[in-house]
Copies of this chain bind each other. A is one copy, B any other.
Amino acid sequence: MKIDKFLDGLTVGYDIPALPGMREEEIVTPCLAIDLDMLESNLKRMGDYTRTKGIKLRPHGKMHKSADIARLQHEIGNATGLCCQKVSEAEAFVRAGIDDILISNEVRHPVMIDRLARLSAGGARISVCVDELEAVAALDAAAGAHATTITCLVEYDCGGKRCGVISLTGLLDIAKAIGDAPNLSFGGIQAYHGTMQHIIEYEDRRAAALKSIQHANAAVEMLLVNGIRCPTVTGGGTGSYEFEASSRLYTELQCGSYAFMDVDYGRIEEEDGRRTQRFGNALFLLTTVMSTSRPGRAVCDAGLKVQSIDSGLPEIHGRENIAYVSASDEHGILTDPHGQLRVGDRLRLVPGHCDPTCNLHDWYVGTRHGRVETIWPVTARGKAF
């Protein structure tokens, strides 16, 4: 409860949704609540797995955006360092004491390249991805200007079709240029395939992962043939991590959503065809019923202002026969055919997609056994640069 000392003078309902010690029913909604038991269980489970497999875990901070959770991932979840997608996220985490950060993304804006170099010069271990040759000179110049060395990984497109160099010769050229740059250090490759994480059927997901790993392997081999060793091969997510961890190629996993889970990741299936139970729902959007004027329906206070529905609507946790069927800016429409709901009833929604939902909130309310135990700021909320 490291933040408790800052909470004096804050007012529930204006600044924050709850204060430590409150009963769960007193929390002002809508807000994000974390089941701390489940969060810890998820972190330990992934920690144990990566320890057993002998693979590094660099969890993705873009998911939770919380320095407190990043710290917990290091304390109990076998984490080494953190991933971020943006320089401004990294700045927020470095300020909060997390000092080994991979920007798992390209940084091309001159202002942000400069800030990246400043972060490195300030003493943090910073690495960043590169997917075009032209980026190398700009990163090298900034690192030189701030008398620091930045570690660069080449992002290789192993099938995700987002960023990442697609040709092996292009990859080699960039790796060589990084190696030749006086103020850069070649760190290896990033080979992350985002879309395959969400393939529901296990065999399909496995096949996509193995194909992606094959691509990454070809890239590493080609560099090796040309005398370039990859200290780090980083990638993997909550949908695919077991395949990368068993590949004998990847040295580091970047999973993020395993800590919280969401409806989208809850859909993916294990080998036995059942929805995954490996990690449990630790993140909930607390909401309250605010109108029941129309029979068979109810309106709750959680709409688009507090959740992203890009990957589908939320599910209602632990309740039968009611469903969340549509969202407007400030309202959610619930079907309630048996007329169970009353104004003031509280529900726990499992968000459709955790990352952009967390980005809408300033606070996490940490609960255990029906009590508020802690309040954590969403440290890197809105850090989009």
Cβ < 8 Å to B, chain A residues 286-310: 288, 290-294, 297, 299, 301, 304-306, 308-310
Count this chain's copies in the assembly.
Answer: 2
Q: Contact: A330 with B62, CB < 8 Å?
A: yes
Given known A-B contacts A13-B88, A166-B294, A330-B86, A108 and B344 have beta carbons under 8 A apart: yes
Q: Are B293 and A165 touching (Cβ within 8 A)?
A: yes
User: Which residues of the partner chain B approach A6 to less than 8 Å between Cβ atoms?
Assistant: none
Given A290-B106, A290-B163, do A355 and B384 touch, yes or no (CB 8 Å)? no
Instruction: List, in ascending order, chain B residues with CB within 8 A of A194's CB.
Output: 328
**Interface pair B384/A30, CB less than 8 Å apart:** yes
In the complex, A105→B356 CA distance in Å?
A: 26
Q: Given known contacts A290-B163, A293-B157, A331-B162, is B304 in contact with A111 (CB within 8 Å)?
A: no
A20 within 8 A of B: no
* Residues B85 and A329 in contact, CB atoms below 8 Å apart: yes
User: Does A222 sit within 8 A of B, measured CB to CB?
Assistant: no
Which A residues, 349 to 371, have Cβ-Cβ distances below 8 Å to chain B?
353, 355-356, 359-362
Q: State whether B134 touches A385 (Cβ < 8 A).
A: no
Asked if A343 CB lies within 8 Å of chain B CBs, one says yes
Are the CB atoms of B343 and A306 closer together than 8 Å?
no
Which residues A59-89 have CB closer than 8 A to chain B?
Answer: 62, 85-88
Could you mark each residue 41-56 of chain A with 1 if its beta carbon is under 8 Å from any beta carbon of chain B, else 0?
0000000000000000
Instruction: Please encode chain A, from 307 to 334, with 1 for each CB lying within 8 Å of some chain B CB and 0 for all others.
Output: 0111000000000000000011111010
A131 to B112, CA, bound (A): 50
A179 touches B (CB below 8 Å): no
Are B109 and A330 closer than 8 Å at their CB atoms?
no
Q: A111-B28, A112-B28, A293-B166 are contacts. A362–B343 as well, Cβ < 8 Å?
A: no
Q: Tell me if A280 is interfacial: C-beta within 8 Å of chain B.
A: no
Q: Does B132 contact A162, Cβ atoms closer than 8 Å?
A: no
Complex contacts, A166 vs chain B, CB 8 Å:
293-294
Say which residue of B88, B163, B288, B360 sits within 8 Å of A360 (CB atoms). Answer: B360
17 further interface pairs, Cβ-Cβ under 8 Å (given A30-B384, A108-B288, A304-B355): A13-B111, A14-B91, A14-B385, A28-B112, A28-B385, A109-B290, A131-B291, A132-B292, A132-B343, A161-B333, A162-B331, A162-B333, A163-B299, A166-B293, A304-B356, A305-B359, A362-B382
Chain A residues packing against B (C-beta within 8 Å): 12-14, 17, 28-31, 62, 85-88, 91, 105-106, 108-109, 111-112, 115, 131-132, 134-135, 157, 161-166, 170, 194, 288, 290-294, 297, 299, 301, 304-306, 308-310, 327-331, 333, 343-344, 353, 355-356, 359-362, 382, 384-385
